[in-house]
Amino acid sequence: MTANGLPELPPDFLFGAATASYQIEGAVDEGGRGPSIWDTYSHTPGAVDRGETGDIACDHYHRYREDVALLEELGVDAYRFSIAWPRILPAGRGPANAEGLAFYDRLVDELLGAGIEPVATLYHWDLPQALEDEGGWRVRGTAEAFAEYARIAADRLGDRVTRWITLNEPFCSAFIGHAIGRHAPGTREGTPALATAHHLLLAHGLATHELRASAVEHGRSAEVGITLNLDRLIPATDSAEDHAAVDRAETMHNRVWLDPLLGGRYPHNEQETWGELADGSYRREGDLEIIGRPLDFLGINYYRPGKLKDAPHDEPDPARRTAADIRVADVPFDGVRHTQMGWPVVPESFTDLLVDVHRRYPNLPPILITENGSAEADEDRTGARVHDSDRIDYIREHLLAVAAAIEAGVDVRGYFVWSLMDNFEWAFGYDRRFGIVRVDYDTLERTPKDSYHWYRALIREHAAKRG
C-alpha cells in the first residue's frame, strides 16, 4: 500500500479504461452500419427499461475526439473499445463497408496520437441482425462469418492494433441472450443455447487463427485473447446439495469456457448440469483443437461474487426447460454494501477468484482485468463536481484485491476500469451509471467525476514510480 492508500502494483502494470460499441456509439443508421440484434431487441416493447435504446447513446461516433481527449487527460496507457461488426459488415459477411472501417481508422489514429494503446474487442454483443436471421450463434456458419470479419479487421487495423480480444463475455451472449432472455436476442432455449456457447468458442478459435495469420502475412505482431466474466461462487451452507449446486453453476459460468480454452476438454459434469439438453449434437471432431489454440492473455471481467443454494427446477417439464434452469437459487449477501445494480461489494472474492483460476489451470496465460467498476445511484453533485466516493472505494478496494492476487503468484498485467463514461447499460438502459465521467443524456455533455480525478492521480503516482 502506498502513502495515500493506493495499491502497490508492478512497475509495468497497465492502466486502462473500457467501453463497448453499442453502449456508446449511437449513430446506428450512419456510415452504412447495418442493424444488430441489440437494435432489434432494444426496439422491442418491454425489452429494455423505459424503452431506452442505443440509437444515440453517448454519440461517441461523432464525439470520439472529445472522448480520446478525456482519456489522454486521464493518462491511461490503454483504451479497450469494441468494433461494431455491423459497421464493418452491415449484413454480417460479404464486402466490407469502407465508411465503417474508416471510423475505426480515425479512432485508432486519434488514440495513438494521444499516446494511448488501442485494445480492440471484436465482439461485444452486437451481432449483425442478418446473421441472427440465419440462425445466429445457434449455427456454425456464424462462427465462420466471425472469422472472416476478424480477418478484415486485422488486415486493416493490425498495423496499429496489437492486442485483440475476440469475444466479450460469451456467457452473457449464450445464456443471458438465449436462455434467460434478458439480452438480445432475448430467447429462452434449451439445447440451442448450449449450441451458442459452443459456436462462440469455435468463433474465438477460428478468429484467433485469422488474427495471427494476418499478422504473419503482414510482418506484424498480434496478441490474442478472449474476455470472460468469471464468477466466484460460494455455497450458502456446507451441505452436499449446496456444494453440488455451486459445482453446476461453476460449469455454466466458468468451466464451459475455461475447460475447452485452457484444458483441452469439456466440463466433467455437463450431464449433471444440463441433463439431456447437453447432447453435444453441435460439436464436431477437431473443434477442441481449434478452441484450444494458445492464448496470449486471458481477459477477466469481474464485478461481484455469488452465493448459491440447491433448488428445484424452475420448469417441471423437461421438454420446456432452458439451459439456465440448473437447479440453483441465489442467496443474498448480508452485511455488505450493494451497488446500484444490487451487486454485493466483496473485494476479497476477486482475489479468491484469481487465485483459484491460477491453481486450476496450470497453463493459464497472463491475465488482463478487462473490466471492473461500479454503478452508483447516489452520486452527489455540487456545481460542476460529481462526488462519487463509493465508486472510488470500490475501484481502490478491487485494485487492492488484484495486488493481493499478484502477491499470491497470479500473473495479472493490467486493469481497465468499466467504464470511461456513463452509457447504455443493456436491459437497464441509462439509469445505471458506471462511468468515471458523467454523461448528461440531454446535452451529451461529459463531466469527469471525482473517481476520474482519483484514477488520474493513481496513474500519475504509478508512472512516477516507473521513472
- Catalytic (active-site) positions: 169, 371
Which whole-number Å values give the CA distances from 202 to 15, 104, 435, in the listed order? 30, 25, 33
> Interface with ligand FCB includes 162 (CB under 6 A)?
no
Residue closer to ligand FCB by CB (options 415, 426) is 426
* 20 touching ligand FCB, by CB under 6 A: yes
Pick from 117, 189, 247, 371: which binds ligand FCB (CB under 6 A)?
A: 371
Pick the piece of the chain touching ligand FCB (CB under 6 A) from 49-57, 164-172, 258-266, 391-399: 164-172
* Ranges within 314-343 binding ligand FCB (CB under 6 A): none
Q: Please check whether residue 450 is in contact with residue 379, taking contact to mean a CB–CB distance below 8 angstroms.
A: no
Q: Is 186 left (phi over 0), alpha (psi -120 to 50) or beta?
A: left
Which residue in the set 60, 425, 437, 451 belongs to the binding site for ligand FCB (CB under 6 A)?
425
Between CA 348 and CA 404 the distance in angstroms is 9
Contact call for residues 153 and 96 (beta carbons, < 8 A): no
Nearest distance in Å: CB 239, ligand FCB: 30
168: contact with ligand FCB by CB under 6 A: yes
> Of 147 and 172, which has the nearer Cβ to ligand FCB?
172
Number of other CB atoms surrounding residue 332 within 10 Å: 10
CB of 17 to ligand FCB, least distance (A): 13
Give the one residue of 15, 104, 257, 426 binding ligand FCB; rule: CB under 6 A: 426
42 sits near ligand FCB (criterion: CB under 6 A):
no
Alpha-carbon span 435 to 395, nearest angstrom: 12
In angstroms, rounded to a whole number, what is the distance separating the alpha carbons of residues 332 and 93? 44
Q: Rule CB under 6 A: is residue 242 a binding residue for ligand FCB?
A: no
418 near ligand FCB, rule: CB under 6 A: yes
Q: Is 126 in the site for ligand FCB (CB under 6 A)?
A: no
Supply the minimum distance, in Å, between the C-beta of residue 434 and ligand FCB: 5
* 384 burial via Cβ count (<10 Å: 0-12, 13-18, 19+): exposed
143-151, 168-176, 276-284, 355-363 -> range binding ligand FCB (CB under 6 A)? 168-176
Task: Give the one residue of 126, 155, 169, 325 binding ligand FCB; rule: CB under 6 A.
Answer: 169
Closest separation in Å from C-beta 345 to ligand FCB: 14
Residues 6+ apart with CB under 8 A from 259: 265, 266, 267
Burial class (CB in 10 A: 0-12, 13-18, 19+), 57: buried
Minimum CB separation from ligand FCB for residue 32, in Å? 24
- Residue identified by cell 512516477 is 464
- Tell me which stretch binds ligand FCB (CB under 6 A): 134-142, 155-163, 402-410, 418-426: 418-426
DSSP state of 36: B
| CA separation for the pair 397, 274 (Å, rounded) | 36
Least Å distance between CB 165 and ligand FCB?
Answer: 11
- As a whole number of angstroms, the distance between CA 28 and CA 75 comes to 30
Report CA-CA distances (Å) from 55 to 83, 216, 354, 431.
16, 38, 37, 16
Q: Which CB atom, from 273 or from 372, has the smaller least distance to ligand FCB? A: 372
Q: In the complex, which residues of this chain contact ligand FCB (CB under 6 A)?
A: 20, 23, 168-169, 172, 229, 301, 371, 418, 425-426, 434
